[in-house]
A and B are shown apart, each in its own frame.
Chain A
Amino acid sequence: MVLLEKLILGLAAGTIYGVMALSFVLIYRVGKIVNIAVGDMVLLGSYLIFAFSGLRLIGNPAMNLLLGLVMASFVGLIIAIATERFLMRPLYGQSILALIMMTVALGMILRGFTIVEWGTILRVFPGQHEVFPPVPLKVGVIEIPYVYIWSTVGSLIIFGSFLYLFRKTLFGFAMRAVSLNPEAAATHGISIKRIYTYTWMIGYVAAFLAGLVLGAINGINVTITYLGLARALPAALIGGLDSPGGAMLGGLLLGLIEHSIGTYLNMFIPGIRDIVPYIVLLIVLIVKPYGLFGTERIERV
């Protein structure tokens, strides 16, 4: 029963890792940009939600928090436009390394901004204890904290709607076309720059949702950056860098392993819980270098 509880907890945590990995994978796949700033985007998200929900525009604390997320997401869209226009666009056609360095710079800017604006003390969302009661939900003998339930629901909604967009709509086809052959896509009237901007928008919104969840679990503080990056990267790599579905599965796998094997081993070797995901990552990469679901290029013989 304890194991079952840990597995459920692992899956719930995994969904939010999956959403962070999705943000990373999408930007990598479409724009060929290794986005080191993903952790900082998560951090910025949690602070923006903290700030907006601090306005207390709605009495109901749950709705207030949700409104904070929506308002933060709108700000995220604007930041996405600025990111693409002013940081990334001048570098298209330059080396991959220049783009990576630019995302490192982006991360520094975002993180620095949050430190300047809100300092480094640990904060919690206003009304957090009413929305996510500290007493976990009991189903039989299994105890699940409320925050995990809501994070799973939120993650699945955002992931499902993204997958529909990506796989079934003209917009999704255009996005994938740009990721495969930008030049050919442009000759069909698909604006590459605009697709890149949309990609960043989705990336920011996904990261902000993760910011809400991690902020609620961990408390809002600059450590979220490292927590985010340390989970988004291995999840993305396990799933195969360029597959959104793989990102979610990678996240789930990561959550499961962390909460089952990791928690178990942690009783004997304190602190190993945070390392176990990386051991799994190593094994996966040795066996399948493209990750579990990464595309191996189609080549006609």
Chain B
Amino acid sequence: MLILNNVEVTFDPFILVIKGVSMEIPEGSIVAILGANGAGKSTILKAISGVIRMERGKVTHGYIEFNRSRIENKAPEEVAKKGIIYVHEGRSVFEELTVEEDLLAGLYGRRSFDPKDALEFVYNYFPRLKEKRKVKSGLLSGGEQQMLVIGRALISKPDVLLLDEPSLGLAPKVVTEVFKTIKQINEEENVTVVLAEQNVRKALEIADYGYVIEGGRVVLHGSAERLSKNPDVQNYYLGIGESGRISYQDIKSYKRRKRWIS
């Protein structure tokens, strides 16, 4: 169980980005964090994983708790050792390493597994990586790179995966494939997944629960089913109006975004 309680994140020196977010992420679930650009989705994941520390950010209020131990403001490598692996947005592969070396680099910090078994374990989910295991990871296609970074996170058998925009810059077909694999990993390995996504429709398809973030606050949360039926979410994120799809001619865009909190 991963708990965020009234978390505030401040970046150097006093830019308040997350303004009191509380979440409960039960073990083995998929939780989606939804919102537009700049809403603070990534920052929440970075706060959990400790990456904000490297960007001169800090949790200044509230706490983050994982299996009853406090993890806020810890160094990223310590959080990773507890079994929470954060996957950067934008496919941060180690370009000059081959796929196999890249995957194994993910094992170094937590090398309690045999490298061969660990590789097979990942290839099982991403057979395409096995075909390309001797190729430098900088030369893979976008979808393969996304699979590689998820695979690299998976190789150390984490308890929690924090995925930051896995759909970014991928073809719709590839997005479907990646999301299917995420769901599969969640079900078969009992890995808790926290998904920060702009692609609300896809995210809600696989998620159990969702939080809608805007301006650094949770404005709406509920089960994925309830969220996708919520008229506001339909209207603002899924592009569905009361009479089916909206005609974009009728939209006055500067008025459209609903402000839950002003």
Q: Given A183-B54, A188-B153, A191-B109, 7 more contacts at CB 8 Å?
A: A176-B96, A180-B95, A186-B51, A186-B77, A187-B76, A188-B109, A188-B156
Q: In the docked arrangement, what's the CA distance between A273 and B194, Å?
A: 64
Against A, the Cβ 8 Å flags (1 = close, 0 = not) of B79-90 are: 011000111100
B51 touches A187 (CB 8 A): yes
Contact between B87 and A187, CB atoms less than 8 A apart: yes
> A173 near B110 (CB under 8 angstroms)?
no
Decide if B115 is an interface residue (CB 8 Å cutoff): yes
Pairs across A and B, CB under 8 Å, 10 listed: A173-B108, A174-B109, A184-B149, A186-B75, A188-B85, A188-B108, A189-B108, A189-B109, A192-B77, A295-B96
How many chain-A residues does the 8 Å CB contact rule pick out?
A: 23
Stretch from B17-25, B97-105, B204-212, B230-238 forming part of the interface with A: B97-105
Considering only CB atoms, which chain B residue lies closest to A171 in the complex?
Answer: B108
Whether the pair A180, B97 counts as a contact (CB closer than 8 A) is: yes
Question: Which of A183, A295, A300 is close to B139, meaning CB atoms less than 8 Å apart?
Answer: A300
In the bound complex, CA of A181 to CA of B85 (Å): 16
State A184–B51 Cα separation when bound (angstroms).
9
Number of A-B contacts (CB under 8 A): 92
Bound CA span A170–B104, Å: 6
Please, which residues of chain B bring their CB within 8 A of the CB of A183?
A: 51, 54, 76, 88, 92
Q: Which residue of B lies closest to A194 (CB)?
A: B77
- Is A190 located at the chain interface by the 8 A CB criterion? yes
Given contacts A170-B115, A171-B108, A298-B139, contact A184 B88 (CB under 8 A): yes
- In the assembled complex, A77 has its CB within 8 A of some CB on chain B: no
**Interface hub of A171, A188, A190, A297 (most chain B Cβ within 10 A):** A188
Contact surface of B with A, Cβ cutoff 8 Å: 49, 51, 54, 75-77, 80-81, 85-88, 92, 94-97, 101-102, 104-111, 115, 136, 138-139, 149, 152-153, 156
Q: In the complex the two chains form, what is the Cα distance from A61 to B153 in whole Å?
A: 53
A187–B105 alpha-carbon span in the complex (Å): 11
A170/B94 in contact, CB under 8 A: no
Which secondary structure dominates chain B's binding surface? helix
Q: A161-184 CB contact bits vs B (8 Å, 1 = yes)?
A: 000000000110110110011011
Query: Of B95, B139, B149, which is in contact with the most chain A CB atoms at under 10 Å from its CB?
Result: B95
8 pairs of A and B residues whose beta carbons are closest in the complex: A189-B109, A189-B80, A298-B138, A174-B108, A177-B105, A184-B92, A173-B105, A186-B76
By the criterion CB–CB under 8 Å, are B96 and A298 in contact? yes
Q: Which residues of B contact A299 (CB under 8 A)?
A: 138
Partner of A190 from the list B49, B96, B105 (CB cut-off 8 Å) is B105
Residues in B neighbouring A190, C-beta threshold 8 A? 77, 105, 108-109
Bound-state CA distance A183–B102 (Å) is 14
Q: How far is the CA of A189 from the CA of B102 in the complex (A)?
A: 14
Cα separation A171 to B115 with both chains bound (whole Å): 12
B156: which A residues are within 8 A, CB to CB?
188-189
Q: What A residues does B115 contact at CB under 8 A?
A: 170
| Contact (A298, B109) CB under 8 Å given A176-B97, A187-B51 | no
Quick one: closest B residue to A167, CB to CB? Answer: B101
B92 contact set on A, CB distance < 8 A:
181, 183-184
For the complex, give the distance between the alpha carbons of A177 and B138 in Å.
12
CA distance A185 to B94 in the complex (A): 9
- Provide the residues of chain B in CB contact with A191, threshold 8 Å: 75, 77, 109
Give chain B residues whose Cβ lies under 8 Å from the Cβ of A298.
95-96, 136, 138-139
Contact B77 A176 (CB under 8 A): no
